[in-house]
Amino acid sequence: MQSTQASPEVLSVESFSSRAFAWTLVISFCVPIFFHLVRRRQNVLPFPPGPEGLPVVGNVLDMPSRNQWLTYCRWGKQYNSDIVHAKVLGTHVIVLNSTKATCELFEKRSSLYSDRPPLPSLTQLIRMSWNIAFLPYGPRWRTWRKVFHEHFHPQATRQYLPRELKATRQLLVNLLRTPNNYRDHLRFMSGQIIMGIAYGIDIAPRDDPYISLAERALQAVESASITGWTFDMLPFYMYLPWWFPGASFKKEAAILAPHIDEMLDRPYRAVKDALAKGIAVPSVAASMITGLRGEPSHEDELTSKAVPATMYLGGADTTASAFLTFFLAMVLHPNAQRRAQMEIDRVVGTARLPDFDDETTLPYVSALVKEVMRWHPVAPIAVPHRLAADDIYEGYFLPAGSIVIGNTWALLHDESVFPEPNRFWPERFLDPDVKLPDAVFGFGRRICPGRFMARSSMWITIASVLAAFEISPTTDGDGVPLMPAEDFTTGLISYPEAFACAIRPRSKCAEGLIVAAMDAP
């Protein structure tokens, strides 16, 4: 009978394979446990204080869907901490409620805090991954940021002052003709300035296709930031059908995303066509396209598209919001309006409109502009940052991958810096020791690159409107003022809710100045 016993060589190989397999199992099982224990040993420090969550889902039910900045402020006071913590399933959320915390983390440790979370509602569902505000921190972001700086550093923005002044004068004319359409006029002016800078395109006063396109794109961003947050906090929702509870934004995004694509491509194609015909006006897009050599790579062409599109989308939306807040503030606070107008009459006189050269001699007007930006900031909550590695702050453990939110509202309503923070009081900025924080424009390396132009545009517009018009509440049939509510929308950009106001020339002389502005070069 033939033996079936395996040879020693075969036994050796089989036993080696068995031992290797066993060791693989041991290593696969033990290594994660080892690193877990090491992590636990490192993580002996507590998380920052915050609302106590439920098992598994954490603080899903605690996360606010409206006016998040107010909830985060309340948490800071409730837990007596300038940094608070929540957890949504496996995602840690850290909110910074003070200048001290944002300076220490976003500024001094910017290499750790300059990344962005994926934000799939914005980057994937509505296809805005090209917007520099949402780019992850890395080579592409640094390249695009450098291009932005070339066009928007303080000296570069001086070339845009004549365009800003011309658009402001046109705004005055439009307000004189149809004051009830002031919201449309403010949006037109904001788009007129940035569209000219980004693409060299003059837009039509009414029904302009580029303005309409931008409006649809902005609607997509607003919808994503309000109703798409589920996909940002719970990424597995990306794999669920639109009819699943909480995933309905998928259906809306499929309609909105093509508008984003067109926003990126259409004005860019218009500039390319104008360059080919030799009729292009100087612009950021024109200079970038001209700088392309030979057959451009996909990355080079994407840069040439994305940079001006980001400029336009960001600039038009934010400045329009700030101007609407100014109009609301003037309706609600007539004493501040009168004091600013008295200063303009005294310094500039009534024979001309203010110019950029008047800024240093109109301190109260400048203080009023700052108070508009502080009273209700355009972006009360900054676009979230992402923590790149484990960190420790004030004895609290901050885990890698955390979503870190700068609560701009909290910084600008800090009672220790701005007494009576909810009060609209420009006088606070007449004190040279009181400064408007840069947090108005974001944090750290992610601060808005267009902030210098935004400041100059806000100043000349507000000074000119104050010089020319009286802004007041509308009245009922008995002449009783109808004061609007101090209500604002929720989203990445926050607007005053629609309100009525009366806009009238301050005098016949002021009306004459406005009419003369129509013929100004």
Q: What is the pTM of this model?
A: 0.88
CATH of residue 214's domain is: 1.10.630.10
Domain membership flag for residue 414: yes
Coil, helix or strand at residue 355: coil
- For 110-152, the pLDDT digits (tens) are 999 999 999 999 999 999 999 999 999 999 999 999 999 999 9
Q: Are 283 and 151 in contact (CB under 8 A)?
A: no
Domain count, the chain: 1
- For 426-470, the pLDDT digits (tens) are 999 999 999 999 999 999 999 999 999 999 999 999 999 999 999
Q: How far is CA 518 from CA 177, 358, 422, in A?
A: 12, 21, 38
Domain membership flag for residue 5: no
Domain membership flag for residue 6: no
Among candidate residues 64, 117, 109, 101, the one with its CA nearest the CA of residue 385: 117
Domain membership flag for residue 36: no
Conformational region of residue 244, where left means phi above 0, alpha means psi within -120 to 50, and beta covers everything else: beta
Among candidate residues 446, 396, 391, 419, the one with its CA nearest the CA of residue 83: 396
- For 251-297, the pLDDT digits (tens) are 999 998 999 999 999 999 999 999 999 999 999 999 999 988 778 88
Domain membership flag for residue 54: no
Question: Would you say 30 is a known binding-site residue?
Answer: no
H or E stretch including 470? strand 469-472
Among the ranges 21-25, 26-30, 236-240, 350-354, which has the highest mean pLDDT value? 350-354
Number of Cβ within a 10 Å radius of residue 378? 23
Q: Give dist(CA 198, CA 202) in Å, integer.
A: 11
Domain membership flag for residue 195: yes
Domain membership flag for residue 38: no
Q: Which residue segment(s) compose the domain that 424 sits in? A: 68-518
